[in-house]
């Protein structure tokens, strides 16, 4: 008798594990009804059964004041985000003020980035998380820190998603509890192994749902504000109005133009260098070798004219006879022969 009872229990456990594996999705779909309206309807049904009244009488029965009981309002869950850019004189001071505003409101600083632009001004980007009830006041304080450049805000209602996740969590917890009860009654090792695998899978699904619920709670509890702080240019207002550059900018522009022109000239000369070298070699060969060779082989070439000495001329252009050179006093004169 005891052996038959043991076999019957093992068969029931195996059948239940197969049913739980195949019908887990169906249990998740019906959990919302069992959590919201099912539990509320079960109490009137039990009370009606105890009083001997039909089930429909509990739903149609008026309240103490002759009116139906009011429904409990569903809490609304909204994700709020905002992005704004503000021009300030000192980005470091404005950044410290933004951190202080978020901390005083009960929020925190998510991340922060600061960089220097053109070695003359700072830009900062900071992400703040503040409670929903202080969202508007903190946003107005940050926008009034300087000159507002741009601003954008959005709100997303995720009430349905939050309710769905809560319902699935309740269903998954009930499913885990059922598998644990089956494990307590299991006697065979194979049944225990099968149920442990099923329990591990369902616990993993439950942990994923819990993580999703925490993320939704964080996003709906704390609003996200992304603030960008920029410093103005150092250029004076008069120069911006007149539209003329300063002496430093003019000098820098002239130097850049000179460097650019020199660079282009160097590029052109570099490109022409091979051609100029070939032209120079051809000119030297023509002047030194080819031209004299052609002149020597030309037929009937006239002899070069003798070079005449320069003849002195007077004012009228007539040639002037050259005076005889004076005799040297040291030269002896020839003696005449005596006459006979």
Asked whether residue 141 is domain-assigned, the answer is yes
Query: What is the percentage of the chain residues whose pLDDT exceeds 70?
Result: 62
The pLDDT of residue 60 is above 50: no
Asked whether residue 308 is domain-assigned, the answer is no
Q: How many domains does the chain have?
A: 1
Distance CA 54, CA 49 (A): 7
Asked whether residue 103 is domain-assigned, the answer is yes
**Candidate ranges 83-92, 183-192, 323-332; pick with highest mean pLDDT:** 83-92
pTM for the complete prediction?
0.47
Distance CA 49, CA 74 (A): 30
Asked whether residue 115 is domain-assigned, the answer is yes
Asked whether residue 182 is domain-assigned, the answer is no
The pLDDT of residue 168 is above 50: yes
Nearest to 229 by CA among 116, 103, 137, 105: 116
Distance CA 78, CA 221 (A): 8
Asked whether residue 88 is domain-assigned, the answer is yes
Residue 190, pLDDT score = 85
Each residue's pLDDT tens digit, 13-23: 555 554 444 44
The pLDDT of residue 224 is above 90: yes
Asked whether residue 53 is domain-assigned, the answer is no
The CATH number assigned to the domain holding 114 equals 3.30.70
The residue range of the domain holding 146 is: 78-158+221-230
Query: Could you tell me if 114 and 143 are in contact, meaning their C-beta atoms sit under 8 angstroms apart?
Result: no
Contacts of 205 (CB under 8 A, 6+ apart): 172
Distance CA 173, CA 167 (A): 10
Query: What is the percentage of the chain residues whose pLDDT exceeds 90?
Result: 31
Phi, psi of 325 (to 5 degrees): -70, 135
- pLDDT classification of 289: cutoffs 50, 70, 90: confident
Asked whether residue 91 is domain-assigned, the answer is yes
Residue 193, pLDDT score = 87
Whats the size of the chain, residue-wise? Answer: 340
Comparing 276 with 326, the larger pLDDT belongs to: 276
Each residue's pLDDT tens digit, 127-150: 999 999 999 999 999 988 889 999
């Amino acid at each position: 008798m005891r052996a038959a009872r043991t076999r019957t229990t093992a068969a029931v456990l195996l059948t239940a594990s197969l049913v739980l594996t195949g019908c887990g999705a169906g249990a998740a779909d019906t959990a919302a009804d069992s959590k919201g309206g099912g539990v509320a309807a079960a109490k009137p049904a039990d009370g009606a059964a105890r009083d001997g009244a039909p089930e429909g009488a509990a739903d149609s029965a008026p309240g103490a004041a002759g009116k139906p009981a009011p429904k409990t309002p569903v809490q609304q869950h909204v994700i709020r985000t905002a992005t704004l850019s503000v021009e300030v004189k000192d980005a470091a001071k404005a950044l410290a003020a933004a951190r202080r505003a978020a901390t005083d409101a009960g929020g925190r600083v998510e991340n922060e980035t600061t960089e220097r632009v053109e070695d003359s001004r700072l830009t900062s980007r900071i992400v703040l998380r503040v409670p929903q009830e202080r969202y508007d006041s903190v946003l107005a304080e940050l926008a009034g820190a300087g000159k507002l450049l741009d601003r954008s805000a959005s709100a997303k209602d995720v009430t349905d998603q939050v309710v769905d996740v809560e319902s699935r969590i309740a269903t998954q917890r009930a499913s885990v509890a059922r598998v644990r009860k089956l494990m307590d009654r299991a006697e065979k090792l194979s049944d225990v192994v099968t149920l442990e695998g099923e329990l591990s899978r369902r616990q993993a699904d439950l942990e994923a749902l819990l993580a999703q619920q925490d993320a939704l709670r964080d996003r709906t509890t704390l609003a996200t504000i992304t603030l960008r702080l920029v410093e103005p240019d150092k250029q004076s207002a008069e120069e911006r109005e007149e539209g003329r550059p300063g002496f430093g900018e003019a000098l820098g522009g002239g130097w850049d133009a000179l460097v650019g022109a020199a660079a282009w000239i160097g590029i052109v000369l570099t490109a022409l260098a091979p051609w100029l070298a070939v032209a120079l070699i051809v000119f030297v060969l023509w002047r030194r070798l080819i031209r004299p060779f052609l002149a020597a082989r030309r037929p009937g070439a006239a002899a070069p004219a003798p070079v005449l000495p320069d003849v002195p001329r007077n004012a009228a252009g007539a040639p002037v006879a050259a005076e005889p050179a004076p005799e040297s006093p040291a030269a002896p004169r020839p003696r005449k022969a005596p006459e006979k």
